[in-house]
Amino acid sequence: MTLRVAVVGCGLIGSRRAKEASQHPRTSLALVADVDEDRRTQLATRYACLPVAQWKEAIDNPAVDVVVASTPNRYTAEIAVAALAAGKHVLVEKPPGRNLVEARQLAEAARKAGRVLKIGFNHRYHPAIDRAYRLYSDGAIGGMINIRARYGHGGRPGYEKEWRGDQALAGGGELTDQGVHIADLIQWFGGVPCEAFAFLQTAVWPIQPLEDNAFGLFRYRNGSIASVHTTWTQWKNLFSFEVHGQLGSLCIEGLGGSYGPERLLRAIRNPAGGVPTVNEESFDGPDLSWQLEWDDFVHAVDEGRTYRGTPEEGVGAMAMIDALYRSARSGVLVRLSEATA
Ligand X SMILES: NC(=O)c1ccc[n+]([C@@H]2O[C@H](COP(=O)([O-])OP(=O)(O)OC[C@H]3O[C@@H](n4cnc5c(N)ncnc54)[C@H](O)[C@@H]3O)[C@@H](O)[C@H]2O)c1
Q: Give residues in contact with ligand X (CB under 6 A).
A: 8-14, 33-36, 39, 55, 70-73, 75-76, 93-94, 120, 122
Of the candidates 103, 76, 83, the one whose C-alpha atom is nearest the C-alpha of residue 13 is: 76
Taking the least distance from each CB to ligand X, the nearer of 118 and 244 is 118
DSSP letter (8 states) at residue 125: G
Q: Where are the beta strands (DSSP E) in the chain?
A: 3-8, 27-33, 50-52, 66-69, 89-93, 117-120, 144-152, 195-201, 213-219, 225-231, 238-245, 248-253, 262-268, 277-283, 334-335
Least CB distance from residue 307 to ligand X, whole Å? 15
Least CB distance from residue 214 to ligand X, whole Å? 16
Least CB distance from residue 244 to ligand X, whole Å? 25
DSSP letter (8 states) at residue 220: -
Backbone phi and psi for residue 273, each to the nearest 5 degrees, phi listed first: 90, 175
Q: What is the largest CA-CA distance in the chain?
A: 66
Backbone phi and psi for residue 228, each to the nearest 5 degrees, phi listed first: -135, 135
Taking the least distance from each CB to ligand X, the nearer of 172 and 193 is 172
Least CB distance from residue 83 to ligand X, whole Å? 12
Taking the least distance from each CB to ligand X, the nearer of 70 and 187 is 70
Taking the least distance from each CB to ligand X, the nearer of 220 and 241 is 241
Nearest residue (beta carbon) to ligand X: 11
Residue type, 286: P
Taking the least distance from each CB to ligand X, the nearer of 35 and 135 is 35
Least CB distance from residue 116 to ligand X, whole Å? 18
Cα 289 to chain centroid distance, Å, stands at 12
Taking the least distance from each CB to ligand X, the nearer of 33 and 192 is 33
Least CB distance from residue 277 to ligand X, whole Å? 33
Least CB distance from residue 162 to ligand X, whole Å? 7
Taking the least distance from each CB to ligand X, the nearer of 116 and 141 is 116
3-state helix/strand/coil string of 268-326: ECCCCCCCCEEEEEEECCCCCHHHHHHHHHHHHHHHCCCCCCCHHHHHHHHHHHHHHHH
